[in-house]
């Protein structure tokens, strides 16, 4: 949101009565109100929010190298709102950066908004469900990280006859873009993670989806039961790939552990290829009932992870340092 134009000098010739009256008009600037041409009031800027007070799910942090700021995006159905930070400690509310119009296919969910800078544009990958379509991920595009974002296409980029969610973008060493996504356990019981090539402009997928692994490939996972649906299965949430300095790949993904807590695991591809093969870690990365993680570098070059914890309701934003030792990821 934009800061109000009210200044001290703007009221130096007005009495207190006029000053109080002006506040009733949501912070109109004296210069704007005096023009009498229907100038819109300027919204009062909201105070920053401390990281410890941020309540959200699926936090993806974009370090924008052009502005030097960090951005995270939040479900505000039927909108997506953004926060901006210069220090990862305080977050300035930026208001809605996307609002679905009546013609947009996505009517539900508005989950997991992940933002990437790619070829001069900013792309939001968001999970939606439509009244007449399967759950899937759409891509939104903008010229700036604070929007406004618009649909790259009015429909999901994931397979339209599958229930898919939590899509992410990965650019391989040959500069080929890939989309990673989860296939719902509600549909396949043993949740799956796929990769699929994309066109360079991100408008289309290329070729068939490639199954990377199923949830049961990891020894640390436990099935969950939905009483409402009378169904049992294993989930695969939030695949995210990071290329290590030696060219090998690590993938974060989330499920429920043997204790029934939401948790993150790591899978490794020593081939350096998206298609794997992928070797699962034996243990989870965390034990705080948190997940849906991603990795990013801060301004000092420190590798960090962001995720939400606990998993019930609106979790809190968690940011921790990450180390890679003996080609294995560890949280500090």
The predicted pLDDT at position 327 comes to 87
Query: By the 8 A CB rule, do 45 and 3 touch?
Result: yes
The predicted pLDDT at position 227 comes to 85
The continuous run of DSSP H or E covering 185 comes out as helix 185-188
Distance CA(182)–CA(136), nearest Å, equals 10
Within the chain, what is the greatest distance between any pair of CA atoms? 74
Residue 31 per-residue DSSP state: H
Distance CA(185)–CA(197), nearest Å, equals 23
Query: By the 8 A CB rule, do 264 and 290 touch?
Result: yes
Question: What confidence tens digit (pLDDT) does each residue in 188-208 have?
Answer: 999 999 999 999 999 999 999
**6 band by pLDDT with thresholds 50, 70 and 90:** very low
Question: What confidence tens digit (pLDDT) does each residue in 258-285 have?
Answer: 999 999 999 999 999 999 999 999 999 9
The predicted pLDDT at position 133 comes to 64
Helix (H, G, I), strand (E, B) or coil at 265: strand
Average pLDDT, the chain: 88
Assess whether pLDDT exceeds 60 at residue 12: no
Residue found under tokens 């939400």: 308
Distance CA(231)–CA(187), nearest Å, equals 10
Minimal CA–CA distance to 124: which of 102, 93, 100? 100
Assess whether pLDDT exceeds 90 at residue 299: yes
Distance CA(264)–CA(331), nearest Å, equals 11
Structure tokens at 268: 């490794």
The predicted pLDDT at position 45 comes to 73
What is the value of pTM for the model shown? Answer: 0.85
The predicted pLDDT at position 10 comes to 36
CA triple 173-179-184, angle to 5 deg = 140
Assess whether pLDDT exceeds 60 at residue 80: yes
């Amino acid at each position: 949101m934009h800061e109000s134009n009210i200044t001290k000098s703007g009221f130096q010739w007005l009495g207190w009565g006029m000053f109080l009256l002006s506040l009733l008009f949501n912070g109109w600037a004296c210069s704007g109100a005096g023009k009498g041409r229907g100038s819109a009031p300027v919204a009062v800027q909201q105070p920053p929010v401390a990281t410890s007070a941020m309540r959200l799910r699926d936090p993806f942090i974009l370090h924008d190298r052009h502005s030097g700021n960090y951005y995270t995006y939040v479900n505000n159905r039927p909108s997506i709102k953004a926060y901006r930070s210069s220090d990862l400690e305080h977050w300035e509310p930026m208001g809605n950066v996307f609002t679905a119009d009546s013609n947009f296919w996505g009517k539900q969910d508005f989950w997991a908004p992940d933002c990437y800078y790619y070829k001069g544009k900013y792309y939001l990958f968001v999970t939606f469900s439509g009244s007449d379509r399967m759950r899937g991920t759409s891509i939104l595009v903008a010229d700036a990280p604070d929007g406004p974002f618009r649909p790259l296409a009015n429909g999901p980029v994931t397979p339209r006859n599958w229930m898919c969610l939590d899509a992410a973008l990965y650019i391989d060493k040959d500069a080929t873009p890939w989309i990673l996504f989860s296939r719902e356990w509600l549909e396949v019981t043993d949740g799956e993670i796929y990769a699929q090539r994309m066109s360079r402009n991100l408008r289309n997928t290329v070729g068939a989806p490639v199954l990377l692994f199923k949830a049961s490939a990891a020894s640390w996972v436990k099935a969950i039961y939905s009483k409402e649906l009378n169904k049992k299965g294993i989930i695969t949430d939030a695949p995210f790939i990071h290329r290590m300095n030696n060219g090998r790949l690590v993938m974060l993904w989330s499920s429920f552990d043997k204790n029934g807590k939401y948790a993150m695991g790591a899978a490794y591809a020593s081939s350096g290829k998206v298609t794997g093969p992928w070797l699962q870690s034996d243990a989870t990365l965390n034990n705080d009932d948190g997940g849906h993680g991603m990795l990013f570098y801060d301004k000092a070059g420190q590798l960090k992870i962001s995720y939400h914890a606990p998993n019930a309701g609106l979790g809190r934003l968690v940011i921790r340092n990450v180390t890679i030792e003996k080609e294995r990821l560890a949280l500090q």
